[in-house]
């Protein structure tokens, strides 16, 4: 951020505080235009207040006046003709920003707006233009009015940059979208949800899929952020936001995934030097702060009591405080900004680690990310020994939780898969296992949980007081065997094993029964179904390999913020506050 921007913010705040309207007399006249004498007097007053050169102050006042007059003209035009003025800022993190205006009716489709923007920016293919308004990607298939775009609104546009040209970025986003969809939709549980302790997270089917989709996009976005491809990361994060929005709001408030999503979006805004989305950034940071309060407790006391004052989650809190300070700074709330920057500075100093200790742990064979997290969690003269113990204890904790899931819970999850296919009949496998441990039969436990809406205490009460009625309500289905389907299942299982190994098994599936007799040839439609299934499975595993290709598989990777860029930003803003 430049000194000019810093003064621009301060002078604009003084105008607002004094109720000065630069587009009205005595500073502007419809007949005479800008009135120089009145502007010079105002520049003299404010230059003294801010201790700056009067010519520099007048230059900024003229700039603010021109901006106000353009906005006023756009309001008048929209009022009389219905033609809106949209201010478009093309993001290019390496070579700065390009500003253009597009005039159009708000009744046009998003596709027409994208075509107009592509023409203005000389982009050959409008499909490569991604436009963001108030934290959402503008849809091509809805009107601007339906998407709540307004006259004089500022939009940001991403076309691509560097190696990520418009076409390359467009194709990469589409490929990631296809891969995430394929991996999440696979029936082979290619990716699963765990909490911070390695325990499985169970949700109704629609929410489970939506959250997995959102988390998949977040993982790919984080990989893009690590490469400093913030345009790509922002688009992926906004896709994730759309999926998270379909989840139960109470659930989102209870986990930190949604908080991290909002924090990452604002971080991308900032890294792209974009302040046009300031209202959205402020909203998202407030949401992040609320989520952290619910997950971590007020002033993070719950987090600190569980994990200690040295927990690595402080890196997230540090980034939150830094970004809150940036928002306050751009609102010219300088005292509030200073307080946030001071809090961020304190956390930053606590999170710094000894580079020699880190190198020693890496030499011992530990992953750098794992080693950094451990060192941040262990302070003192014996930090290396404590970090080694921390890593081993963390690994054992995850191992125990995953072992528990692979036992009774996973078996129960598979058993319930068919009845759990709809949200209205979904039951939590962990709750069924808990009721099993209490001595209740699985079928009765499942039915009780369905009726109790997965409230385990209510389910226990039903099992104790209405067991006869529950027994009578259990379905009694005859057991039949369809030999053709049995053979097909055998073949499909074989195909899935082939897919997992890249199709290397050339022996072909056996069509022999358990008794050793060969069955008659399967019908042609079933053979075709098997072939199609095989192709789908192999493509799914290819998508899974692509999905994982650039991901850090550490379960704590999202906490591993090097904090180098944060320190530079903190120093920069502290210096501007002191000017």
Count of structural domains, the chain: 5
Residue 343 and residue 448 in one domain: no
Cα–Cα separations (whole angstroms), residue 167 to 131, 133, 332: 15, 22, 39
Residue 188 and residue 236 in one domain: yes
Q: Could you tell me if residue 358 is inside a domain?
A: yes
Residue 469 and residue 488 in one domain: no
Burial of 285 (0-12, 13-18, 19+ CB in 10 A): buried
Domain boundary pick from 131, 159, 187: 159
Residue 45 and residue 130 in one domain: no
258 vs 241: CA distance, rounded Å: 8
Residues sharing a CB contact under 8 Å with residue 525, sequence separation 6 or more, in sequence order: none
Domain boundary pick from 68, 92, 122: 68
Q: Could you tell me if residue 328 is inside a domain?
A: yes
Residue 87 and residue 51 in one domain: no
Predicted local distance difference test score (pLDDT) of residue 433: 80
Q: Could you tell me if residue 233 is inside a domain?
A: yes
Predicted local distance difference test score (pLDDT) of residue 515: 44
Cite the beta strand spans of 76-202 per DSSP E: 83-90, 98-105, 130-133, 136-137, 154-158
84 within 8 A of 151, measured Cβ to Cβ: yes
Residues sharing a CB contact under 8 Å with residue 320, sequence separation 6 or more, in sequence order: 263, 285, 288, 289, 292
Residue 447 and residue 338 in one domain: no
Q: Which of the 8 DSSP states describes residue 423?
A: G
Residue 136 and residue 230 in one domain: no
Domain coverage including residue 513: 483-548
Q: What's the CATH number where 112 sits?
A: 3.10.20.90
Residue 446 and residue 539 in one domain: no
First CA to last CA distance, the chain: 13
Predicted local distance difference test score (pLDDT) of residue 514: 43
Residue 187 and residue 294 in one domain: yes
In degrees, to the nearest 5, what angle opens at C-alpha 214 toward C-alphas 212 and 215? 65
Q: Which two tokens stand for residue 547?
A: 């999905």
Q: Could you tell me if residue 166 is inside a domain?
A: no
Domain boundary pick from 37, 68, 99: 68
Residue 306 and residue 428 in one domain: no
Q: What's the CATH number where 459 sits?
A: 1.10.8
Predicted local distance difference test score (pLDDT) of residue 539: 86
Instruction: Select from 76, 100, 90 the least CA-distant residue to 151.
Output: 76
Which long-range contacts does 355-363 make (Cβ < 8 Å, 24+ apart)?
357/383, 357/384, 357/387, 360/384, 361/387, 361/388
Question: Are β-strands 154-158 and 28-29 bridged in parallel, bridged antiparallel, or unpaired?
Answer: unpaired
Residue 138 and residue 241 in one domain: no
Q: Could you tell me if residue 16 is inside a domain?
A: yes
Predicted local distance difference test score (pLDDT) of residue 414: 65
91 within 8 A of 97, measured Cβ to Cβ: yes
Half-sphere exposure of 237 (CA within 13 A, CB side): 27
Q: What is the pLDDT of residues 97-151, one digit of tens each?
A: 788 999 999 999 999 999 999 999 888 889 889 999 999 999 999 999 999 999 9
Q: Could you tell me if residue 95 is inside a domain?
A: yes
Q: Could you tell me if residue 6 is inside a domain?
A: yes
Residue 47 and residue 114 in one domain: no
Instruction: Select from 376, 380, 406 the least CA-distant residue to 391.
Output: 376
Q: Could you tell me if residue 450 is inside a domain?
A: yes
Question: Are β-strands 154-158 and 130-133 bridged in parallel, bridged antiparallel, or unpaired?
Answer: antiparallel
Q: Which two tokens stand for residue 420?
A: 């759990």
Q: What's the CATH number where 229 sits?
A: 1.25.40
444 vs 455: CA distance, rounded Å: 14
291 vs 279: CA distance, rounded Å: 19
- Ranges of the chain whose pLDDT falls below 70: 93-96, 160-166, 195-198, 249, 253-254, 380-381, 404-421, 423, 475-523, 526, 553-555
Q: Which two tokens stand for residue 341?
A: 């920057």
């Amino acid at each position: 951020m430049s000194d000019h921007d810093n003064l621009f913010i301060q002078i604009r705040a003084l105008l607002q505080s004094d109720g000065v309207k630069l587009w009205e007399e005595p500073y502007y006249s419809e007949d005479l235009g800008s009135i120089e004498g009145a502007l010079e007097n105002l520049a003299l007053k404010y230059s003294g207040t801010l201790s700056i050169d009067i010519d520099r102050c007048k230059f900024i006042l003229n700039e603010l006046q021109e901006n106000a007059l353009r906005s006023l003209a756009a309001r008048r035009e929209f009022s009389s003709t219905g033609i809106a003025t949209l201010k478009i800022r093309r993001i290019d993190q390496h070579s700065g920003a390009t500003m253009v205006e597009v005039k159009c009716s708000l009744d046009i489709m998003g596709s027409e707006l994208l075509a107009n923007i592509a023409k203005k920016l000389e982009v050959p293919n409008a499909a490569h233009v991604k436009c963001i308004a108030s934290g959402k990607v503008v849809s091509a298939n809805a009107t601007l009015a339906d998407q709540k775009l307004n006259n004089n609104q500022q939009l940001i546009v991403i076309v691509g940059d560097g190696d990520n040209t418009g076409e390359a970025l467009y194709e990469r986003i589409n490929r990631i979208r296809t891969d995430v969809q394929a991996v999440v939709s696979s029936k082979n549980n290619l990716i699963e949800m765990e909490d911070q302790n390695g325990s499985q997270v169970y949700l109704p089917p629609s929410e489970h899929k939506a959250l997995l989709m959102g988390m998949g996009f977040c993982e790919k976005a984080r990989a893009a952020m690590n490469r400093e491809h913030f345009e790509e990361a922002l688009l992926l994060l906004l896709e994730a936001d759309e999926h998270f929005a379909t989840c139960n709001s109470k659930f989102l408030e209870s986990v930190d995934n949604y908080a991290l999503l909002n924090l990452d979006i604002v971080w991308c805004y900032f890294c792209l030097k974009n302040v046009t989305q300031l209202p959205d950034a402020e909203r998202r940071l407030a949401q992040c702060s609320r989520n952290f309060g619910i997950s971590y407790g007020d002033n993070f006391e719950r987090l600190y009591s569980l994990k200690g004052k040295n927990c690595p989650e402080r890196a997230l809190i540090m980034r939150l405080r830094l970004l809150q300070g940036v928002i306050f700074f751009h609102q010219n709330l300088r005292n509030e900004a200073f307080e946030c920057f001071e809090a961020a500075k304190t956390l930053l100093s606590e999170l710094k680690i000894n580079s020699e200790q880190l190198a020693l742990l890496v030499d011992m064979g530990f992953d750098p990310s794992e080693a950094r997290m451990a060192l941040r969690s262990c302070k003192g003269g014996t930090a290396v020994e404590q970090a080694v113990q921390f890593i081993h204890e963390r690994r054992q904790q995850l191992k125990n939780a995953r072992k528990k899931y692979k036992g009774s819970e996973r078996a129960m999850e598979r058993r319930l898969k068919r009845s759990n296919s709809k949200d209205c009949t979904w039951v939590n496998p962990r709750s069924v296992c808990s009721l099993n441990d209490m001595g209740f039969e699985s079928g009765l436990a499942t039915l009780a949980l369905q009726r109790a809406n997965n409230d385990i205490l209510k389910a226990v009460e039903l099992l104790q007081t209405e067991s006869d009625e529950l027994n009578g309500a259990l379905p009694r289905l005859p057991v039949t065997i369809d030999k053709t389907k049995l053979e097909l299942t055998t073949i499909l299982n074989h195909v899935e094993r082939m897919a997992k190994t890249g199709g290397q098994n050339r022996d072909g599936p056996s069509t022999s029964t358990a008794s050793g007799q060969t069955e008659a040839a399967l019908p042609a439609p079933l053979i075709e179904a098997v072939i199609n299934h095989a192709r789908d499975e192999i493509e799914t595993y290819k998508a899974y390999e692509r999905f994982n290709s650039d991901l850090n598989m550490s379960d704590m990777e999202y906490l591993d913020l090097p904090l180098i860029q944060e320190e530079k930003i903190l120093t920069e803003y502290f210096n501007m506050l002191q000017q």
